[in-house]
Amino acid sequence: MGRITSAMRGAGLAVAMSGLVSCTTMYDDYGYVPTDMQLAEIEPGSDTRESVEEKVGAPPLDDFRRDDVWYFVASRNATYAWRKPETIERQVVAIRFTEGGSVSNIERYGLENGEVVTLSRRVTESAVPDLGFLRGLLNSTSLAPALPSSESL
């Protein structure tokens, strides 16, 4: 009788523990953005595509690598129990190049409390043209409101 009680207790504990584990929030990270320390090594006006690739790497997807700009994108999703995963953090780093191939702008964008914000900016130009691609990246989550249009910048 003692062995059965002990086995039942063990089984009950296993069921309780699995129930607790299934209710914890699971986090998944996707993509890559260079750290602030890595970005600090890049000098607008003097670094080139080649030196940027040596310092921080290149974007992993060809869609994020254009002649005039490289985009690095990272997202963090949270899943609680049976619920649909929710994007809780998204960052985009845009490194813009001149026609000659030198770095002109370095900008980091993110989501803060559901708002799209510029987290940091190191520029040699006054404005960032063509926000269409960036707008699409950040608006691909339900947390991101529409970015301002180019006319409002």
Residue 35 lies in a domain: yes
Q: What is residue 147's predicted lDDT score, i.e. its pLDDT?
A: 40
Full residue range of the structural domain in which residue 75 is found: 25-145
Three-state SS for 91? Answer: strand
Q: Report pTM.
A: 0.65
Which is nearest to 118 in space by CA: 108, 127, 126, 128? 108
Please count the structural domains in the chain.
1
Would you write out the chain's pLDDT as a tens digit for each of its 153 residues? 556 676 667 666 666 566 555 678 889 999 999 999 999 999 999 999 999 999 999 998 888 888 899 999 898 999 888 888 888 888 889 999 999 999 999 988 887 655 555 555 666 554 545 556 656 656 554 444 444 433 433
What is the C-alpha to C-alpha distance for residues 62 and 19, in angstroms, rounded to an integer? 43
Per-residue confidence (pLDDT) for residue 142, from 0 to 100: 42
CA distance readout (Å), 71 to 33, 78, 139: 9, 23, 15
Q: 76, 87 in Cβ contact below 8 A?
A: yes
Residues 111, 138 contacting (CB under 8 angstroms) = yes
Radius of gyration, alpha carbons of the chain: 22
